[in-house]
Amino acid sequence: MHVAHLTLHDFRSYADLDLELEPGATAFLGRNGQGKTNLVEAIDYLSRLSSHRVASDAPLVRAGADQALVRAAVVRDGRTAVLEVELNPGRANRARVNRSPLARPRDLIGLVRTVVFAPDDLTLVKGDPTDRRRFLDDLLVLRAPRFAGVRSDYDRVLRQRNSLLKTAGLARGSSRESALSTLTVWDSHLARVGAEILGARLELVADLRPYLGKAYEAVARGAGRDDAEIDYKASLDLDLSVVEERGAQATSLDTTLEQRLLEELEARRSDELDRGITLVGPHRDDLLCSLGNGELRLPVKGYASHGESWSFALALRLASYDLLRADGDDPILVLDDVFAELDTGRREQLAHLVAGAEQVLVTAAVAEDVPAALRGVRYVVSEGTVVRDD
Ligand SMILES: Nc1ncnc2c1ncn2[C@@H]1O[C@H](COP(=O)(O)OP(=O)(O)OP(=O)(O)O)[C@@H](O)[C@H]1O
């Protein structure tokens, strides 16, 4: 797929912008702070309805304006769809496809898919578990958009359950009894939705694993296919052979996981009441990233060198891209300011690996940092204007 036309209105630093885009590589060049990342962020926003840079929508609306608009003509298998989202911080956003309003903005998710490489990707391996959980869930949603709904259901159940745990922990006598019986109801909600997320993440990690080994071998010189490894670390003991047996039906896997979550919630009840938070569930899990082979396998976080950590983060993104491609769709690749972070060898290697993508959008402050294979169409971005440089 590729974006053929992008329109922005009051998005970030852009009051109004209309831009034709082509398949293949396009580089946005210009000094720091001129609006290069703002452009690719807009396309990424359409893909996931969130930004790779900020957690809320408010900073995406141009200072002084009260709403922003992002519209893109997306070409997929020769057919064009016009996707549009109106950002209204503090109020409901609105989305349209071919000018028809969607019942919920999140119905837009999945119609355009992006994989973004950005300097912040180092946090995938060096940051908190939250960063890795977000990585997994974002990829999950790109592969199966209905997970956007499952994830928001889980967040809601978790908030309600935590607030009930606090109330029950402080209550005495009959009000404690009543809070505890309501808690049982929330246990079953949490276990049901949590099992769905857990099962999907476990399968995702199993699907991603072979692509990760291949990608790490490609980006880290001298590395082998078995050097990079990912393992899902759940907040409870699981018999992972259930998942490894890919023949297992998703529904039976979810039932097994739901049962395990319920048992664990029961076992940790008094701890949870003391602390007033939910200690079991996919919100407590992590993705373990490790390097090495044979007996010497070490976690990336805390052990790997800066270069190895970067290669691992790049490999995670490349593996996501390959996995989405294997699902039968060619996502739009965004390389936001990454070349300045890489040595010449890694730049060329990365360019070689992604040059065949249907559309690659690159941003860079220094034109020479962009490898020749990705120089394609060039735009100069300066003070909010985007001018083609032929
Ligand atoms: N909501 C907003 N309203 C107005 N201006 C904004 C808003 N958000 C960001 N900006 C401005 O956009 C500019 C940053 O743009 P962007 O991040 O795209 O820069 P860039 O060209 O990618 O720079 P670099 O090369 O440093 O990454 C900053 O000058 C910032 O002040």
Residue of the CA atom closest to atom 13 of ligand 1: 33
Looking at the domain assignment, is residue 263 inside a domain?
no
Q: What is the pTM of this model?
A: 0.91
Do the beta carbons of residue 226 and residue 151 sit within 8 Å? no
Work out which ligand 1 atom sits closest to the CA atom of 41. 18
Say how many Å lie between the CA of residue 390 and the centre of ligand 1: 25
**pLDDT recorded at residue 241:** 64
Residue 199 resides in a domain: no
Residue 281 domain-assigned?
no
Specify the 3-state DSSP secondary structure of 76: strand
Which residue numbers belong to the known binding site for ATP?
30-37
Q: For residue 6, is it within any domain?
A: yes
- What residues contact 249, with CB distance under 8 A and at least 6 apart? none
* Lateral strand order in the sheet of 68-76: 14-20, 2-11, 68-76, 79-87, 94-97, 100-101
* pLDDT at position 95: 97
Which CATH number is 15's domain given? 3.40.50.300
Pocket of ligand 1 (CB under 6 A): 12-13, 30, 32-38, 59, 61-63, 337, 363, 365, 381
User: Cα(290) to centroid of ligand 1, in Å?
Assistant: 35
Q: Evaluate whether residue 169 is within a structural domain.
A: no
Using most ligand atoms within 8 A of CB, pick from 8, 34, 52 the residue to mutate for ligand 1: 34
| Residue owning the nearest CA to atom 28 of ligand 1 | 33
Quote the number of domains for the chain. Answer: 1
Among 28, 37, 43, residue to substitute to test ligand 1 (most atoms within 8 Å of Cβ): 37
Q: What is the mean pLDDT of each run of 10 residues along the chain (390 residues)?
A: 98 96 96 95 94 88 97 95 96 96 93 93 94 96 93 96 89 82 92 95 95 90 84 85 58 84 93 93 96 86 90 94 92 93 84 90 94 90 90
Residue-level pLDDT at 346: 82
Residue 337 CA: nearest ligand 1 atom is 27
Residue 188 included in any domain: no
pLDDT at residue number 143: 93
Domain-located, residue 163: no
Scored b (16 or more CB within 10 A) or e, 300-318 reads bbeebeeebbbbbbbbbbb
Output DSSP code: residue 32: T
What is the pLDDT at residue 243?
57
Identify the domain containing residue 374 by its residue range. Answer: 1-113+329-389
Burial 150-175 (b: 16+ CB within 10 A, else e): bbeebeebbeebbebbebbbeeeeee
In a domain, 9, yes or no: yes
